[in-house]
Chains A and B, each alone.
Chain A
Amino acid sequence: MSQKRFSLIRTLGIIFMITYIVFIAFPIYWQLNTSFKHIGEVRKIPPTFFPKHFTLSPYINVMNNPMARKSIYDSLIISITTTLLSVLIGSLAGYAFARYPKYAGGENLSFWMLSVRMFPPIVFILPFFFIFNNLGLTDTYFSLIVMYFTFNLPLSVWLMMMFFGDIPRELEEAAYVDGYKPFRAFFKVTLPLVLPGMVSVVMLCWIFAWNEFLFANVLVGTRVKTFPLVIPTFASGSSILWNQVMAFTVIAMLPPIILFIILRRYMIRGLSLGVVKG
């Protein structure tokens, strides 16, 4: 009886998963499909479900475009720096807020940090344009790194606070009893347990910096150009070259996907040792 009900739920679950997979995968398939078509076929009505004349020329055109190549390089520099800074500084603060809320400044401080992310970005864009302009810092890596770092930090602090909060304190205390110094206990006991959470923070910070358009559009653009700024330039005259746009976004998706696959190793079960949450 219970076995039967269980398998019914299982079947429903599998159907649900398949529907969701189709919903997510179809637009991605369409993006790939478009990126392998000649531009004439892209504009066809009704659209073709599979490229009639399969071509790699959109990819070759994009790769031969020096501006496109440079933009990927610029985006990489900005995203790597932003992510490292946000996760490092965010983890320090998150740990303090989770373990010693009173001494770390309390809820008001942590909530104020979060509130930075609540204002529409237009609040920051214009004042920052004036500031960076006066300091001669527009069109530099620095200006974007500062902005993305600021917007990622609240998220990083709050998520790390939650993940650290989930780790029972007794674990660290047990390590102290075993003669570990706090520093060593942190690296040997606490850090491995929050790694799965940290991976998602890394991904979120990376994705925000990697894809951001609005700040980049205002603060950089000539010497430094991130890749979302290059996308609108794939046009001939007034018509957009959809196949090249899609090919370029496929290429731009690779760094975050590779990063995720590398980091996935750390997402495996952190707590397999049989620790009961306190």
Chain B
Amino acid sequence: MSRKGEDILVKRYVPFLLVLPAFIVLFSVTIFPTIWSLYMSFHQYNPIIGKPVPVGWKNFNYILHWDRFQNSVVHLFYYLLFGVGIEMILGITVALLLYELIKSEKIRLLLLVLFIIPMMIPPSIVGTLWRFLLDPFSGVVNTILSMLHLPVVDWFGSKMALASLIIADIWEWTSLPLMIIYSGRVSLPQSVYEAAWVDGASQWTILRRITLPMLKELIAIALIIRFMDAYKFIDKVTVMTQGGPGGASELPSYLAYLVGAQQFNMGVASAMTWIIGLGSIIVIMLFVKFMKKVLKSQKIA
């Protein structure tokens, strides 16, 4: 009997204690910046010129009607749809193919290392490397295209600049879903597959009915991580295009960075980061809700 009471006590307080360190760290680190930037978003403030002056909602109003910001949101939409979308599909496909097709442990290790190398190169260097490869005059990609008698592409012109950024991003970050899904696939129990083979299920059925459903939480978290990071990245924009030509590849957080770190307009920059951050939170919240609905409906079925 006393054993039972002890269990309840453990259940009640141990989980709380386990979460406590993470909570304390995150809370103490984020509380000041959160308050500071929220305060600044309602003020006009340039640390070089003077003290913060309250301006109400003016900063938000200004940003939402600023055409450069509106355009950057459209760019971000394309960027997320094509960049993150292709990264997820490629990552999942390659991870599963790697597991199914290659049986030798050594070759698997070799390929896996190759596939995650792009992630290990600093993003700013990935940007410079692709800038180098795609250079319209001296870059190797256009050299190969002209050797094959194909038309060369102006990779950093106003039509292709955003696409070039997306290509570099796909190259670098497909590794992330790939690695997560691969480690998930490796830890799936073998016995389920053996049972399916005994039942004579086809490869396609196994993929659709067993592998993907069992991996869907990991797929969701990989998507969330990629979404969050792609949503606010700026390093490749800084290195490859500086948002140009003529703002054709500007993204919202790059604008926030320009306004904050180069023009020192803290008020507008803080307001912009709040708009960007809240946008991200809302999208992810809706996605998590959707996931839960999917999980629930499958449990009932």
Contacts and interface: CB of A to CB of B under 8 A. Distances in A.
A105 B19 contact: yes
A180 to B, nearest CB: 14
B273 A231 contact: no
A239 interface: no
Interface string A148-170: 01100111011100110110000
Given A92-B22, A153-B25, A214-B235, A242 B276 contact: no
B16 A103 contact: yes
A159 B180 contact: yes
A269 interface: yes
Given A150-B30, A196-B183, A120 B257 contact: yes
B188 to A, nearest CB: 7
Contacts of A277: 188-189, 192, 214
B26 A257 contact: no
Nearest to B138: A45
A28 B113 CA distance: 12
B202 interface: yes
A111 B138 CA distance: 47
A113 to B, nearest CB: 6
B23 A127 contact: no
A162 B171 contact: no
A194 B23 CA distance: 22
Contacts of A252: 122
A37 B221 CA distance: 42
Interface in A9-29: 9-10, 13-14, 16-17, 20-21, 23-25, 27-28
> Interface size bucket, A side?
35 or more
A82 to B, nearest CB: 12
B10 A182 contact: yes
Interface in B81-100: 90, 93-94, 97-98, 100
A49 B288 CA distance: 47
Contacts of A23: 171
Given A100-B11, A100-B15, A118-B228, A105 B132 contact: no
Nearest to A268: B186
Interface string B89-133: 010011001101100010001011111111111111100111011
Interface string B197-239: 0000011000000000010011001001100110110110000
Given A123-B33, A213-B123, A264-B112, A96 B18 contact: yes
B114 A25 contact: yes
A271 interface: yes
A211 interface: yes
Interface string B232-264: 101100000000000000000100110011000
B155 to A, nearest CB: 14
Contacts of B256: 120, 122
Contacts of A117: 228-229
A103 B115 contact: no
A241 B217 CA distance: 45
A48 to B, nearest CB: 10
Contacts of A116: 26, 30
B50 interface: no
B165 interface: no
Contact of B187 (A114, A196, A231, A276): A196
Given A120-B256, A123-B37, A228 B190 contact: no
Interface string A54-97: 00000000000000000000000000000000000110110111
A31 interface: yes
A244 to B, nearest CB: 13
Contact of B33 (A43, A128, A162): A128
Contact of B37 (A10, A127, A147): A127
Nearest to B217: A162
A122 B22 contact: no
Contacts of A2: 202
Given A27-B118, A126-B260, A242-B132, 20 more contacts: A10-B101, A24-B118, A30-B132, A45-B137, A89-B22, A93-B22, A93-B23, A103-B15, A118-B277, A127-B37, A162-B217, A166-B218, A200-B183, A207-B120, A228-B124, A249-B122, A269-B187, A270-B187, A276-B189, A276-B192
Interface of A: 2, 6, 9-10, 13-14, 16-17, 20-21, 23-25, 27-28, 30-31, 34, 43-47, 49, 89-90, 92-93, 95-97, 99-100, 103-105, 109, 111, 113-128, 131, 146-147, 149-150, 153-155, 157-159, 162-163, 165-166, 182, 193-194, 196-197, 199-200, 203-204, 207, 210-211, 213-214, 228, 231, 242, 245, 249, 252-253, 256-257, 260-261, 264, 267-272, 274-277
12 contacts: A89-B21, A96-B18, A96-B19, A97-B19, A103-B12, A113-B23, A115-B281, A118-B284, A150-B30, A162-B218, A274-B191, A276-B192
